[in-house]
Structure 1
Amino acid sequence: MPTRRSHTKSRKGCLECKRRHVKCDEGIPKCTLCRKRRLECSYPPPNEDADSPQRSSINQDDLESNTALTGELPPATRMLEARLFHQYMTSTYHTLAQDGLSANHLSLNVPRLATSFVYLLDSIYALSALHLASVEADNRVPWLDAALRYQSQACSGLGKVLVDITTQEYEPAFVSSIFIMLFAMGYRVISVDSKPPDPLSLVREIRTLISGPAMLFDKIVKGGFTAQLEHWMHVPDTKESLPDGTHTKKIITSLDRLHTTIDMDKGPHHSTYRVNWQQLYQAIEPWPKIGPQGGPLAWPLFLSDEFLALIQNGDWIARVLFLHYGTAMRLLCHRWYVRDWGRRLVLATLEPLDDIPPEWVDTISWIRQAAERED
């Protein structure tokens, strides 16, 4: 009786190799076969096995318990995480640092915290995978797949901590929430989503994401305990490394003209205009210093529901102020997780507008030119 041939197919191989019924060497980010054939290479989630339809019904807690008992992770996972941590320590953390903000906190204190708080480690893996997706165009899809898996784990872990957070968790939760926020922004520009963004939905999402780090920052500052990141929290002169003085002056000049219009307005929304104008002005005017308000990136945090409702209802003063925020985000276009985010927001806001009131034609023309400018 002939002996039965042993199973040679990889159980944890990529989806393309499984479809072709060939053995996969589980290379990261692309297996050898996909790389040779120049195919997109992606792997199923860690808790799935395409060879076993019943696998997806296994409880995730059971899988984690089994891993804990054996003390082992699949070799492909270990190699992937080593690559992602190496990426963070050699490249990604550099892209997050700013003049006046010591990179030591990102390269020493944050990794040290991550060795004790797994959700922070997952957020490092997620952001590093997204960074790799931004620089390795040929491997963008598998890196995005990995980034999404770790982002999901980071969000889940952080969510559990926030239910009943202790002072010990303030700092790792703060850093993790920042990385999660940057990931959410970066994924939209790196994934090259073909669907035009809804500007107000985007800003509401960013406002929600920023509110997490802002709340934790407030707790750390007011907590009265020794913080590992204390110096990071109190850097008054943080600067962007690539200032654009000409563009900043043009935005400020345009905002000054808008302020004159707001002062002349005697309608019921006058105070709403003034408050939101002031917040945006304070975010831009110190440039290249970030300023105490967190720069243009943080402006959505201060937006009121009333102001967003005015934009949604077609109020032109609110709409033009909102468009200035989009042009201000161009100041951050050299950052890989921002890129053309401001341009896309401006153009998506302008696209449905047919009839522009005569008094706004020149302003809208300048905003469009500023958004479409190649950097």
Structure 2
Amino acid sequence: MFGLCKPSFRAASELCEPVSFFLRESRKSGGPRGRPPRASAMHKRRSHTKSRKGCTNCKKRHVKCDEQGPPCAACMARGTTDTCAYQTKPSDARSEGQARSATTTTTTTTTPSATDAESSSRSDGPQMEESEARRLLELRLMHRWMTHTWKCMHGLDEDAEFLIEQLPQASLRYEYLLYGTLALCAADLAIHGEQTTLRARGPSFYLATAMSYYDLASQALRPQLAKQDADAHVWVYMTTVMLTTLQMAIAQCLEARGGREPRPSMIERLGLIIDLSAGSGSVALSDSFSLFSGAGGSMMQRAAELLGGPPPPCVEPALQAVIDHLHAVVSDPSAPDAEPLAPQYRPCYALVARLLELSVREESRRQIRGTCVSVPMYCGRDFYAAVTSSQPTALFLLIIFGALVEIGARDGFWWANHFGPGLVQESCLAMASAYPDCMRRPHWREGIAWARAEAGLPPLAL
């Protein structure tokens, strides 16, 4: 993979306007020698074009000032450069490829150079205006999508054409989709950097770029959520998925940028991701017919067939053991949050366990990648409330979920890096603090050990 080489900026034309002026000669009062002047031969003096911004000397003499000073050309010709002054400094601005424009404004304006635009982009992220710098940046980001970033959304063989061809074409019609795509590509570059050394940017620049486009996508998307546009439905859904994905990638962006500012924990970030994922699910269900019959409909139908079909006939022994641990923990009657003690959590525990089992089985079958990312879409706020209140069963389920997220990250979903291990580690620490005895029970202990190994974390000393 290679990045787009960035050409150097050049002005559209060089401004080389010569300084010139005309000195009018006084007309002689008489005609030919010895002949008195004739009235018909007298010419009325033509007044010069009034200059509202000329120097004080030219105004006193009532002559045209070229407004190029101080000193102006007239004062240079008359040797009065020392007294050449302007009440308001004339504009130095020049239009590219044109002569100086005579305007009535009194404000001094300058045309920003390409270097100024570049330095501004380095410090503050992209300038959200139609400029050469922005167009080149967006071209680079879209090139990144076509060559690299699209793969992080690739979970099914049938979705390659949808992501590489149909989505970029649709982004030319729907600005919220364009901004969401560019935001995800900028996050990709913030984490992985550029493979070209020509004018390469740092993580801070691309993080600022990602956040700017994230905000633009959110603003453009908000009015579309209330509309019923069948043609745009799939693109609204894809934009919500991209923005949710970007939230999972932010932790890595901050890690790449460095700095010591306080950051939310992974469990705190999970709450936002659950809300965003639930919003994506609501968009999908609001018009499922358009989702399955519009652009990418065959991809959606194929995924539904695989998920709704029979489970794989056999599962890897290690993954089958994880499924057994899930059922044993959720049905453990001695858990502190078992049915008699915390009945409000039991429905969400059963739902999350089924979603995780489906993810484990699909991980073994290898036909759909990243099935586990649907867990936040359906788990609901009740499950998150159980997590934040340190209910042991909820923490165990979250540990398994974090391990599956990390497996997906190793399989190409780079936006999930750090997120899975962070959830595993924070959940283990919370459980060890509140319910250390649960972690010593066989199914709990073995499930946690598997999750920590998949997340690349050292074993716990229990």
Q: TM-score, normalised by structure 2?
A: 0.61
Task: Provide, for residues 33-81 of structure 1, a one-character-per-residue CA deviation record: whole Å limited to 9, x for no partner.
Answer: xxxxxxxx3235636xxxxxxxxxxxxxxxxxxx7xxxxx211111111
Residue 180 of structure 1 is matched in structure 2 by 243
Asked whether the 8 Å contact 1:119–1:176 carries over to 2, the reply is yes
1:258 aligns with 2:306: no
Distance 2:399 2:142 in 1: 38
Letter in 2 for 1:255: L
Distance 1:113 1:99 in 2: 20
Residue 27 of structure 2 is matched in structure 1 by none
Letter in 2 for 1:277: A
1:303 aligns with 2:373: no
Q: Give the direction of change, closer, same or farther, for the CA distance of 1:358–1:266 in structure 2 (3 Å limit).
A: same
Residue 296 of structure 2 is matched in structure 1 by 229
Asked whether the 8 Å contact 2:292–2:301 carries over to 1, the reply is no
- The more displaced of 73-82 and 327-336 is 327-336
Structure whose alpha-carbon radius of gyration is higher: 2
Distance 2:243 2:212 in 1: 12
Deviation at 1:354, TM superposition (A): 2.6
Match among 46, 55, 63 for residue 127 of structure 2: 46
Match among 342, 349, 363 for residue 420 of structure 2: 342
Q: Give the direction of change, closer, same or farther, for the CA distance of 1:317–1:97 in structure 2 (3 Å limit).
A: closer
Asked whether the 8 Å contact 2:267–2:426 carries over to 1, the reply is no
Q: Give the direction of change, closer, same or farther, for the CA distance of 1:129–1:278 in structure 2 (3 Å limit).
A: same
Residue 97 of structure 1 is matched in structure 2 by 154
Q: What are the residue-to-residue correspondences of 1:29-68 with 2, within 5 Å? A: 41-43=122-124, 46=127
Asked whether the 8 Å contact 1:99–1:238 carries over to 2, the reply is no
Distance 2:323 2:329 in 1: 10
Asked whether the 8 Å contact 1:248–1:328 carries over to 2, the reply is no
Asked whether the 8 Å contact 1:100–1:238 carries over to 2, the reply is no
Residue 59 of structure 1 is matched in structure 2 by none
Deviation at 1:315, TM superposition (A): 2.0
Match among 151, 164, 173 for residue 214 of structure 2: 151
Asked whether the 8 Å contact 2:155–2:370 carries over to 1, the reply is no
What is the identity percentage for the equivalent residue pairs of Structure 1 and Structure 2?
Answer: 17
Match among 63, 68, 85 for residue 142 of structure 2: 85
Deviation at 1:227, TM superposition (A): 0.8
Distance 1:262 1:275 in 2: 18
Letter in 2 for 1:201: E
Letter in 2 for 1:230: G
Q: Give the direction of change, closer, same or farther, for the CA distance of 1:214–1:80 in structure 2 (3 Å limit).
A: same
Deviation at 1:157, TM superposition (A): 0.3
- The more displaced of 78-87 and 129-138 is 129-138
Aligned to 1:116, what secondary structure does the other structure show? Answer: coil
Distance 1:224 1:81 in 2: 28
Asked whether the 8 Å contact 1:100–1:235 carries over to 2, the reply is no
Distance 2:252 2:159 in 1: 27
Q: Give the direction of change, closer, same or farther, for the CA distance of 1:322–1:12 in structure 2 (3 Å limit).
A: farther
Aligned to 2:233, what secondary structure does the other structure show? Answer: helix
Residue 86 of structure 2 is matched in structure 1 by none
1:217 aligns with 2:284: yes
Distance 1:219 1:124 in 2: 23
1:134 aligns with 2:191: yes
Asked whether the 8 Å contact 1:124–1:179 carries over to 2, the reply is yes
Letter in 2 for 1:252: I
Residue-pair matches, total:
326
Letter in 1 for 2:124: Y
Q: Give the direction of change, closer, same or farther, for the CA distance of 1:262–1:130 in structure 2 (3 Å limit).
A: farther
Match among 198, 204, 224 for residue 161 of structure 1: 224
Asked whether the 8 Å contact 1:92–1:131 carries over to 2, the reply is yes
Distance 1:308 1:273 in 2: 11
Residue 404 of structure 2 is matched in structure 1 by 328
Residue 166 of structure 2 is matched in structure 1 by 109
Higher helix proportion, which one?
A: 1
Deviation at 1:149, TM superposition (A): 0.9
Q: Give the direction of change, closer, same or farther, for the CA distance of 1:10–1:181 in structure 2 (3 Å limit).
A: farther
Residue 179 of structure 2 is matched in structure 1 by 122
Asked whether the 8 Å contact 2:183–2:209 carries over to 1, the reply is yes
Task: Provide, for residues 91-125 of structure 1, a one-character-per-residue CA deviation record: whole Å limited to 9, x for no partner.
Answer: 21133223423311011111121111111111111
Letter in 1 for 2:163: L
Distance 1:314 1:160 in 2: 38
Q: Give the direction of change, closer, same or farther, for the CA distance of 1:258–1:88 in structure 2 (3 Å limit).
A: same
Distance 1:205 1:290 in 2: 29
Asked whether the 8 Å contact 1:28–1:80 carries over to 2, the reply is no
Letter in 2 for 1:151: Y
1:371 aligns with 2:455: yes
Distance 1:272 1:263 in 2: 18
Unpaired segments ≥5 residues, structure 1: 14-22, 30-40, 48-66, 68-72
Residue 55 of structure 2 is matched in structure 1 by none
1:319 aligns with 2:384: no
Deviation at 1:150, TM superposition (A): 0.9
Q: TM-score, normalised by structure 1?
A: 0.74
Deviation at 1:305, TM superposition (A): 3.0
Q: Give the direction of change, closer, same or farther, for the CA distance of 1:12–1:92 in structure 2 (3 Å limit).
A: farther
